[in-house]
């Protein structure tokens, strides 16, 4: 998501994150790979590979543009014309997808007014709506320590903030806390939300890329321990059950963000970088006007 948005910015394309949800409605979920299943990329390769997946998508109206030319000199459809699915347990045919919609969702709400990202494909299908109490941390390391020492319990929503592009600085990966949560058997009982990022190895109820990030004044920085948070996957929402008046009061009392880095290149990066919804690009003030 970060790379797509950053590339769109360089190409001067105004790409709204909501378009990702529209694409997900058109593209079914055909192959689920570890850690979201027991199948590896080698299994996918033996089952027909990415070419077989693309071949299935070519026959789904609106899923992809199969007749675009590629670097081979042939169209995408021509490139995969001979591809076949050899194992329908690993790569599902279009008639029997894991899900009729794609594995990524963009969630909006009063915690993420400019969007956030969840890999729905990595969430247990039994979890559609998660309600929990916030337990807040201002760094990745504090959160990992609290998960590992059992401070984090069932029903918690782990809030990790000040780890976005500006706060990190650099938007570090949040794989360790999600791995610890799932490793303790809490993948369906504990959620995690953050302005940091995730990799493809993430699973569980993990919402990242929350924008605007806390360091940029985003409402993630206004969450208090014990606040109720609702993650609604079918409706693609992420909301804090706190009144607008209370959030306004908290905003007035919030201390000003101070960067971890005071000099050098990273200090300049911190001053110029944007939140994840624009790809974490650097933008000088004149560009914003």
134-190: pLDDT as tens digits: 999 999 999 999 999 999 999 999 999 999 999 999 998 988 899 899 889 999 999
**Percent of all residues in the chain with a pLDDT value above 90, rounded to a whole number:** 76
pTM of the predicted structure, to 2 decimals: 0.89
Question: 286 pLDDT exceeds 70?
Answer: no
**Percent of all residues in the chain with a pLDDT value above 70, rounded to a whole number:** 99
Q: Which helix (H) or strand (E) holds 52?
A: helix 49-58
> Do residues 16 and 1 touch, judged by C-beta distance below 8 A?
no
Tell me what the mean pLDDT of segment 245-271 comes to. Answer: 91
Question: 214 pLDDT exceeds 80?
Answer: yes
Distances (CA, A) of 120 to 39, 46, 110, 243: 17, 25, 20, 28
Question: 289 pLDDT exceeds 50?
Answer: no
178 φ, ψ to 5°?
Answer: -65, -40
Task: Look at residue 145 in the predicted model and tell me its pLDDT.
Answer: 94
> Do residues 33 and 122 touch, judged by C-beta distance below 8 A?
no
Residue 227 has, within 13 A of its CA and on its CB side, a CA count of 21
Determine which one of 180, 199, 259, 275 is catalytic: 199
- To the query of whether residue 199 is one of the catalytic residues in this protein, the response is yes
């Amino acid at each position: 998501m970060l790379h797509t948005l950053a590339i769109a910015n360089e190409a001067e394309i105004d790409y709204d994150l909501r378009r990702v949800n529209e694409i997900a409605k058109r593209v079914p979920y055909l192959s689920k790979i570890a850690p979201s299943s027991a199948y590896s990329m080698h299994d996918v390769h033996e089952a027909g590979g990415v070419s077989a997946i693309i071949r299935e998508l070519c026959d789904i109206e609106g899923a992809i543009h199969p007749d675009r030319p590629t670097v081979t000199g042939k169209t995408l459809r021509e490139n995969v014309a001979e591809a076949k699915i050899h194992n329908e347990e690993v790569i599902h045919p279009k008639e029997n997808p894991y899900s009729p919609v794609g594995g990524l969702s963009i969630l909006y709400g009063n915690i993420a007014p400019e969007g956030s990202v969840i890999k729905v494909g990595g969430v247990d299908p039994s979890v559609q709506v998660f309600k929990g109490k916030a337990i807040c941390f201002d760094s990745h390391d504090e959160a990992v320590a609290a998960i590992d020492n059992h401070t984090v319990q069932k029903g918690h929503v782990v809030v990790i903030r000040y780890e976005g592009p500006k706060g990190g600085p650099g938007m570090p990966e949040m794989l360790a806390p999600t791995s610890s949560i799932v490793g303790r058997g809490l993948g369906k009982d504990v959620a995690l939300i953050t302005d940091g990022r995730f990799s493809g190895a993430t699973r569980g109820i993990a919402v990242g890329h929350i924008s605007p990030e806390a360091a940029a004044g985003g409402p993630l920085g206004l969450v208090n321990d014990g606040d109720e948070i609702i993650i609604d996957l079918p409706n693609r929402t992420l909301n804090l059950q706190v009144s607008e008046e209370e959030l306004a009061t908290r905003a007035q009392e919030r201390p000003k963000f101070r960067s971890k880095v005071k000099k050098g290149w990273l200090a300049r990066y911190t001053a110029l970088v944007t939140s994840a919804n624009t790809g974490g690009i650097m933008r000088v003030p004149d560009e914003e006007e």
